[in-house]
Amino acid sequence: MKRYNQVMSANSDRSHPFPWKAAAPSLALSAVLLAVTVCAASVLFVNHQATAAAIDNAAAGLNAAIELEKTVEDLRDGVTEYAESRDEAKLRELMRSSAARRMAGKTIVLSPDGRLLFGEIYQSLSNVDEDLHKLAVAEQEAQRQRILEAVRQLLEGDLLAQADHHRKVTNDALQAAHRENQRLVEWTGWTLLVLGVGGTAAGILSGFSLARALRRQLVDLSVSVRTAAGSLEPVTDAWEPVAIDPSGDLTQVQSMVDRLSERVGSVVSRLQAAEREAMRKDQLAALGQLAAGLAHELRNPLTSIKTIVEAAREPGPANGLDDRDLEVIEEEISRLDTTLQSFLDYARPPKLARRRVDLLEIVTRTIQLVAPQADRQHVEIAVHAPREAVHAIVDPEQIRQVLLNLLLNAIDALPDGGQIDVSIDVDPTGDAVRLLIEDNGPGIDRAIKERLFEPFQSSKPSGTGLGLTICRRIVANHGGTIAATDRVGGGTVFTVKLPRHEESTSPHTISADAHAVDHR
């Protein structure tokens, strides 16, 4: 229950992923509305800038047209005044205040028609300036009168009409710009109205769609919760039904899930208790099996010793203990010591003392230990390793114990001599190393092949059946695996796979592997 609560707490503290699938329609609609709004705003901004520029230009053109019309009127009045007074000072003043020069210094943005009309007016004013200069230098009165009449006719006729027409054209342009601006304002209003109404309607539809999707999920969740609660009811003491009302408040979901979690926690607690009870029974069964095996292994040497002692105690001069009897007793006592040590190693495995080691060094030292026995039985041992050192973080003493057991088993399988190959290589993933011990002996006994790694399984008359069990547990405690297969062409291959780096091994894995291994 404690582990379950820790898991639930960890899950509750974990950040929840965003429900993209449920929110996808709303997000897509929001993206579309955003794109439409951005486009509309861009168009409105560009049109507003263009309309504002058109209004400014039209207003400036109208002001210039009004000023031009007034200039023509002032020029006409000045010429009329000169015609009546014949004042040369007035003529010089009119020549200095040239209307054409004043127009040439202005910058006005006009329409094509406006530019054409403005050009005509400018040309007419230039002609007036030329006539005034001619008037100033004319000597004959008739010539002066003729020039003066031509100037007055131009000013009072065509030029004034052109100036008035130019004012009307620029005024029409200003009115058109104002109308365009009004149209833009109306279009902006309609756009905002459409976006507002459309966005509101889209939001309502999106919310309705999301609500429907959530309701469907709540319905599915309600069915799942009812099913789970119904399944848990026979194994819990709770009688209150657990269900989620799809039309209810979303806060009800958390309450119902909490209640279901409590029931699940209760079931998990019971399962853990049952698992502990099963483990205790397994331990008792293993203890009984261990006791039976220990009794069997102790009985044989004790029986031999008892027989020798009983024979020595019988009356008679030939009775007693000779050297042969003492040698047998010593062998049986050594056998008892070996058996007890094996059982102690099985019952109380030492803790791991990991460090980074060269596996070839471990293999070499282990082979040196078994070399005398291998030589006596004419067994050759060959080592195959990469040029570069293969390192792993392991307990060197325990790995040496595994190799020693496997090598001794291989030597025992070759009483008439043979070949043993020890190979070291790196797993293709690069995360593990492999040790392969191969022999060309008779292979694994078929009678115990399926139970090869179970305790007390041995084909050797003097074996305890715990050697490979201890090997399997050592390898499992390192986070590795051990396996036995038939060798192509005859013999056996034991493969030990170990992680190159330190890995934590759960108690469950160790206890599962504790039912492991012995050899032939």
Query: Domain limits of the chain?
Result: 21-202, 352-513
State the Cα angle at 30 between 29 and 34, rounded to 5°: 120
State residue 516's pLDDT score. Answer: 33
Confidence band, pLDDT 50/70/90 cuts, at residue 407 = very high
List CB contacts of 118: < 8 A, sequence separation 6 or more. Answer: 103, 108, 110, 166
More confident residue, 80 or 36: 36
H or E element, residue 476: helix 467-477
Weakest-pLDDT range from 145-159, 165-179, 187-201 = 145-159
Q: Which of 27, 241, 61, 237 is nearest to 166 (CA)?
A: 61
Mean pLDDT of the 400-410 span: 90
State residue 348's pLDDT score. Answer: 66
More confident residue, 8 or 72: 72
Q: Is the pLDDT of residue 493 over 70?
A: yes
More confident residue, 79 or 478: 478
Instruction: Return the bridge partners of 421, or none.
Output: 382, 438
pTM over 0.85: no
Q: Is the pLDDT of residue 100 over 60?
A: no
CATH number given to 352-513: 3.30.565.10
Q: Residue 58 and residue 177: Cα distance in Å, rounded?
A: 7
State residue 513's pLDDT score. Answer: 36
Mean pLDDT of the 115-120 span: 66
State residue 512's pLDDT score. Answer: 31
The 10s digit of each residue's pLDDT in 239-281 is 455 555 555 555 666 676 777 677 777 778 888 888 888 877 7
The 10s digit of each residue's pLDDT in 32-59 is 878 888 887 888 788 778 777 777 777 7
Mean pLDDT of the 93-112 span: 57
Confidence band, pLDDT 50/70/90 cuts, at residue 203 = confident
Confidence band, pLDDT 50/70/90 cuts, at residue 360 = very high
In CATH terms, the fold of domain 21-202 is Four Helix Bundle (Hemerythrin (Met), subunit A) (1.20.120)
Q: In this structure, what are the phi and psi dihedrals at residue 103, rounded to the nearest 5 degrees? A: -65, -35
% of residues, the chain, pLDDT over 90? 16
Q: Is the pLDDT of residue 231 over 70?
A: no
% of residues, the chain, pLDDT over 70? 57
Q: Residue 134 and residue 30: Cα distance in Å, rounded?
A: 77
Q: Tell me if residue 169 falls in helix, strand or coil.
A: helix
Provide the angle, in degrees to the nearest 10, between the axes of the packed helices 20-85 and 88-96. 160
More confident residue, 343 or 472: 472
Q: Is the pLDDT of residue 386 over 80?
A: yes
State residue 317's pLDDT score. Answer: 62
More confident residue, 405 or 124: 405
State residue 481's pLDDT score. Answer: 93
State residue 3's pLDDT score. Answer: 47
Q: Residue 170 and residue 361: Cα distance in Å, rounded?
A: 104
More confident residue, 321 or 487: 487
Q: Is the pLDDT of residue 433 over 90?
A: yes
Confidence band, pLDDT 50/70/90 cuts, at residue 517 = very low
State residue 511's pLDDT score. Answer: 33
Weakest-pLDDT range from 97-101, 152-156, 182-186, 383-387 = 97-101
Q: Residue 347 and residue 293: Cα distance in Å, rounded?
A: 13
More confident residue, 199 or 375: 375
Confidence band, pLDDT 50/70/90 cuts, at residue 358 = very high
How does the average pLDDT of the chain come out, rounded? 73
The 10s digit of each residue's pLDDT in 186-198 is 888 888 888 788 7
